[in-house]
Amino acid sequence: MRTLVAIPVYNEQETLRSVVEHVRRYADHVLLVDDGSTDDTPLEIETVRRRLGLDVIRHEGNLGYGRSLRDAFARAADRGFDWVVTMDCDEQHEPDALPEFFERIARDDADIISGSRYLDHSVESDGTAPASRREINRLVTDELNERLGLRLTDGFCGFKAHRVETLRRLNLTEDGYAFPMQLWVQLRAIRARIIELPVRLIYNDPNRTFGGDLDDATNRLRHYRTTMHEEICRSADTLPERAARGLLVRCCGRA
């Protein structure tokens, strides 16, 4: 299985070099998607790029977390990889957990292997999630499970392995932080095999922001739910009947 590790990056000058060097110990193929960083991230990337044989996509402007992942998926497909593992660059995802993802990939019985910070409480956490983040994660994950018949314990963990063949069957268009909402609905619509893997809950910067309206928890929850409901409308025919009950949006006469 040829596997690419893809890291979306936005203004991570502090952590980039140590994260990438640590990841490179486990992965032969590493892609950085620099999402229009305005700090010294581009310089940091140049210092390690050749030495570590990194592949780099640079967005001239800040196009968003979702867009960064979509570009990584397209690159993985273009370069003939079988799997693409996404992880963040802010030290909230441990490179030491990569071998567990690779081992799970090798079993070849899943299409998505999603990290979960809330699956196995024996995995000691480092810091606690800010209350609003934990609450929104719980509410939205419960709603995804209720509507789609999934059994997720963490709907927002960006530490995930994706089978490229499965990604090819999706039509992902989300650019921002609501990207996971579209992904889960489309994966359910194609009956993808989804499993979760326990990963450490790490919150090293409680003041980290989403930027703009999303910093308001009520706005953020509404944005995630609206994106989920709009996606359910688009895929209503291939989803469980209960998926489209009581949506925040009208499905143009579909549901």
Cβ nearer to Mg ion, comparing 88 with 154:
88
Number of H helices, E strands in the chain: 8, 7
Task: Tell me how far, at minimum, the Cβ of 90 lies from Mg ion, in Å.
Answer: 4
Cβ nearer to Mg ion, comparing 26 with 210:
210
User: Which residues lie below 8 Å from residue 241, measured CB to CB, with a gap of 6+?
Assistant: none
- Choose among Mg ion, ligand GDP, none what residue 66 binds, the Cβ cut-off being 5 to 8 Å by kind: none
Q: Which tokens hold the place of 163?
A: 């089978």
Task: Tell me how far, at minimum, the Cβ of 68 lies from Mg ion, in Å.
Answer: 13
Task: Tell me how far, at minimum, the Cβ of 232 lies from Mg ion, in Å.
Answer: 27
Task: Tell me how far, at minimum, the Cβ of 91 lies from Mg ion, in Å.
Answer: 8
Give the neighbor-by-neighbor strand order of the sheet with 55-58: 55-58, 30-34, 3-9, 83-86, 160-163, 112-116, 194-198
Q: Which of 90, 94, 174, 230 lies at the binding interface for Mg ion (CB under 5 A)?
A: 90
Q: What radius of gyration do the chain's Cα atoms show?
A: 18
Cβ nearer to Mg ion, comparing 92 with 141:
92
Residue 8, number of CB atoms within 10 A of its CB: 25
- Choose among Mg ion, ligand GDP, none what residue 62 binds, the Cβ cut-off being 5 to 8 Å by kind: ligand GDP
Cβ nearer to Mg ion, comparing 26 with 203:
203
Cβ nearer to Mg ion, comparing 205 with 213:
205
Task: Tell me how far, at minimum, the Cβ of 205 lies from Mg ion, in Å.
Answer: 8
Cβ density class 76-108: b for 16+ within 10 Å, e for less: beeeebebbbbbbbbbbbbbebbebbbeebeee
